[in-house]
Structure 1
Amino acid sequence: MLSTRGFRRLLAVRFTAQWGDGMFQAALGGAVLFNPEREADPVAVAIGLAVLFLPYSIIGPFAGALLDRWDRRRVLWAANLVRAVLTVVVAILVATGVGGPPLYLGALAVTGVTRFVLAGLSAALPHVVEEKHLVESNVLAATAGAAVAAVGGACAIALRGVFGPDNAGGATVTVIASLGALTAALLAMGFRPGLLGPDEPKEAKRALVAVARGLVDGARATAAVPSASASFAALVAHRLAFGVSTLLMLLLFRHGFTQHGVLLTGMGGIGEMVALAAGGLGMAAVVTPWLVRRLGRAGAIRVALVLGALTQLALSVHIRMEMALIGAFLLTGAGQIVKLCADSSVQSEVDDDTRGRVFALYDAVFNIGYVVAVAAAALLAPPTGRSPLLLVLAAACYLLGLVGHELLRRRHPRAPKHPASRGFPQGESRNLSADTWADEIPDSPGQKPRLAETGER
């Protein structure tokens, strides 16, 4: 794949754009949360996280629709240029000490434009790689891009130490972050016009209507498949609990913890916590296939939800830095297990003609649930973040998610309209009831896999 010039250039656009995005998010967090000239209370933290996450849910579906009409090469260079300019504007606001709505609106604009960039990169990928390499190229681009974004965040934290934690230092780091978007724009200009698609442009007005209808269709399609709606409920429960924990940990590392040994407070402590959370993601990638083989998808989700609840309860009893770091590892890993199982459920059991709309809804609820939990916790959390009650409530979210998961799974599943679409050859007659289909889905231990997966007919 790397021997293809178009793929190399698109990868370079992604890396520079995501490096700048990681820099910007870490710089903004440092400017608002860990700046001695700004007193960040829980509500300010909640607003800051909402600014960083909501654009991905609100703008994402519409960005995808418009990218099916506009030249994606033009979107990539123009959006990155706009993002660079807006990043400098945010840096000026930080330097002059402006906070509140002007700062949040500026950051909201930057992250909103970033969503256009990331959606454009994904939509353009099939135009620069062969179809047989599409899966591998997606894995490489997404994984390496996330790693580069993390490197950008680490660069911002390091540069904050160089330029200082005050407004001037935060503004300097934010300006440097704009170089990623500017470089990405210059690289995107190197593509030939029209090379990245779309092949058949659609009218924007009709596309926007399709987005609105698609979210409703996605909800209906999710509700029609019990295993998908059950895993969806489990994932929402995790995001609610994880949002509460995120707010409390940010406040604790700013106000509640004391540095000792290699364990740091402030932005350094947040960096350590992010590193352990990344380890939790890696653990989930290894453990999830093993759990699913032995317990089924439903069993793996049950284990993850119970692990999340127990971790939150342990944190509520021992609110210490060591437990917070261990909790970051376990909670992130548990959530990733739930997410991987939910992805698998949607990909294998939701009809292909509605699968994209289900994932669009899935993405929106995923981030909106997180922000809602952060906002609710901000109204109850003390400034130091020490709140055993909120951690117990987060544990209750996991347990309620477990109950919802079990109730939704026990609904009578629908039989697919066309058995051929589920792995059987066209023209072969199999009169399968809904219960028989449920038996052939490896959602629980002991069930045989689909015949298509074993090579039998």
Structure 2
Amino acid sequence: MAREQVEPELRRGVLPELGDLLRTRRYLQLMAVRLTGQAADGAFQAGLASLFFFSPERQATPEAVAFASAVLLLPFTVVGPWAGVLLDRRPRRSVLGFGNLLRAALALAGALALGLGASDAVVGVLALAVLSVNRALLAGLSAALPHVVAPERFVLANSITPTSGTVAAGVGATATVAVTASLGTGSGAGVGALVVSALAYAAAGAVALTFPRRLLGPPPGAGAARRGVREATRDVAAGVRHLRERVPAAAALGLVAWHRWCFGLTTVAMVVLCRQVLADPADPAAGLAALGVLLAAVAAGSGLAAVLAPWGARPGRVHPWITGCLLVAGAGQLLVGVSTSQPVLAVAAGLLGLGFQGAKIGVDTVVQRSVDDAYRGRVFTAYDLVFNVTYCLACAAAVVLVPDDGRLGPVAVVLAAGYAVCALAQGRGRTRSAA
């Protein structure tokens, strides 16, 4: 952005811009869809964690946590690219609305199956379906944002919108963990969490369907959804070529891949650590409560990123902001390696939340400014695909790298060094954009 464009925005200040943004009706409507849906995501995933990792009859080993985490995300690595085609060929308002209603139905089916004593396999399949739809909807929300926000407010909107969604997911998860830990773990708590999630998903779908049909894109000339594997494959390939032509967006996704890999490995370790070290292994409710503290710290760090990003990632400063966030995340990763004290780990979780979400705000802005709207659905689906593939790879690595008690030790120190290397590369301008 040219200097003459940047300075008026800086002189005006962030707070007036924020006031204008929060008076934008369509933006608030899209925010309502995101916050409601992601709060439901947090409750849904916390309910699954309580059922599979903190039930009295189950033990949380690195292998079990890694396998369950990877399996829950693997379907999106298959359906994700085709969801991107859908987002670029069908009204995104319809995808967001009916997709959330589909999630509500699947979550209710999961609650019914769990209440009737169905096997873990049946509940797991329904959970797979909910989470697969979830990733497509998050891509749709990101692709729709430029239709309700002016380009000069992308950084501000990206500071508030995805971060608020992450905080909402953290609040939903933390509240579910707190209730579950106090009332007792097991299938009963899981049923309650899934029912509450279903109601919130239904509310998000209803709000999304109040948008005008074409307001959120794609452009009218994009055409109807195509049928047939060959045509869909061509659409996906076109999206990948577009991303390759937008070097800033592609390079930014590389940073997200590293972030997500580290986050996945650390998440597996933290779940095991909460069950085996931070609480008596024979008391799963205490372990779940310890995990709740760490989730709250991550949510607090993510919220702080939303507060700081409008100043730190203002126009012309996006890349230095991303560099700083990488260093913050590296500091949090280092703390994970040097201590198993719960207060220290809470600080580390907060720094990881701040660093990860802060960098994501910058990356979202780079991607939104670098790609054409006709390809945005496929590019943001590729973005989410990177999230899930790297997380699954981290889970596979966790089987080898995470010890039985969850103490990462030297592994976390190596991950922190990796963050420093990424920050050095970013600081030298290897990841550039017009942001």
Aligned mate of 2:224, from 193, 196, 202: 202
Does the CA-based 8 Å contact 1:245-1:394 persist in structure 2?
A: no
Pick one of 253, 269, 288 that aligns with 1:248: 269
- 1:83, CA displacement in angstroms? 2.0
Tell me if the contact between 2:47 and 2:194 (Cα under 8 Å) persists in the aligned partners.
yes
CA 202–156 in structure 1, closer or farther in 2 if over 3 Å, else same:
same
Partner of 1:417: none
Change (3 A) 1:113 1:249: same
1:155–1:280 distance in 2 versus 1, CA, 3 Å: closer
Distance in 2 separating the partners of 1:354 and 1:115: 19
Partner of 1:221: 245
1:236 aligns with 2:260: no
Unpaired segments ≥5 residues, structure 2:
1-20
Q: How far 1:256 moved relative to its partner?
A: 1.0
Query: What's the secondary structure of 1:379's corresponding residue?
Result: helix
Q: Which amino acid aligns with 1:23?
A: A
How many residues of Structure 1 are paired with residues of Structure 2 in the alignment? 404
CA gap 1:197/1:397 in 2 versus in 1, 3 angstroms: closer
- Please state how far the C-alpha of 1:291 moved relative to its aligned partner: 6.3
> Residues 97, 252 of structure 1: CA spacing in aligned structure 2 closer, same or farther, 3 A cutoff?
farther
The residue type equivalent to 1:18 in the other structure is Q
Q: Name the aligned partner's letter for residue 381 of structure 1.
A: V
SS at match of 1:217: helix
Instruction: Give the corresponding residue for 1:363.
Output: 384
TM-score by length of 1: 0.70
Report the more deviating stretch, 246-255 or 131-140: 131-140
Match of 1:212 in 2: 236
Offset, 1:372: 1.2
Q: 2:126 aligns with which of 100, 106, 131?
A: 106
Aligned-residue offset at 1:385: 0.7
With the length of structure 2 as denominator, give the TM-score of the two structures.
0.73
Q: Distance in 1 between matches of 2:374 and 2:102?
A: 34
Q: Which protein shows a greater Rg? A: 1
Between stretches 307-316 and 271-280, larger displacement belongs to 307-316
Pick from 256, 263, 270: which aligns with 2:291?
A: 270
Tell me the equivalent position of 2:188.
168
**Distance in 2, Cα, partners of 1:60 & 1:362:** 10
Name the structure with the higher helix share.
Answer: 2
Give CA deviations for 1:201-223 in whole Å, capped at 9, x if unaligned.
4242387235421353155225x
Q: Tell me the alpha carbon deviations over residues 170-222 of structure 1, each in whole angstroms, 9 at most, x when there is no partner.
A: 22322232222334455566678778776454242387235421353155225
1:401 paired with 2:425, answer no
C-alpha distance after superposition, 1:261-293 (max 9, x if no partner): xxx942322222222223323444555677679
Answer yes or no: is 1:319 the counterpart of 2:340: yes
Inter-CA distance 100–229: structure 2 relative to 1 (3 Å threshold): same
Kept in 2, the 8 Å contact 1:221–1:354? The answer is no
Q: Which of 149, 152, 160 is the matching residue for 2:169?
A: 149
* Aligned position for 1:449: none
Relative distance call for 1:85 and 1:387 in structure 2 (3 A) is same
Separation of aligned partners in 2, 1:194 and 1:344: 23
Task: Give me the whole-angstrom Cα distance separating, in 2, the residues matched to 1:197 and 1:344.
Answer: 18
Answer whether contact 2:174 2:295 (CA < 8 A) is retained. Answer: no
Contact (CA 8 Å) 2:239, 2:375: kept in 1 or not? no
Letter in structure 1 aligned against 2:103? R
Separation in 2 of the partners of 1:21 and 1:57?
19
- In the alignment, the residues of structure 2 paired with residue 84 and residue 179 of structure 1 have an alpha-carbon distance, to the nearest angstrom, of 7
Identity over aligned residues, as a percent? Answer: 36
| Distance (whole Å) between structure 1 residues aligned to residue 102 and residue 252 of structure 2 | 38
Q: Is the 8 A contact 2:72 2:131 kept in 1?
A: yes
Tell me how far apart the structure 2 counterparts of residues 132 and 218 of structure 1 sit (CA, whole Å): 20
Partners of 2:338 and 2:151 lie apart in 1 by 52
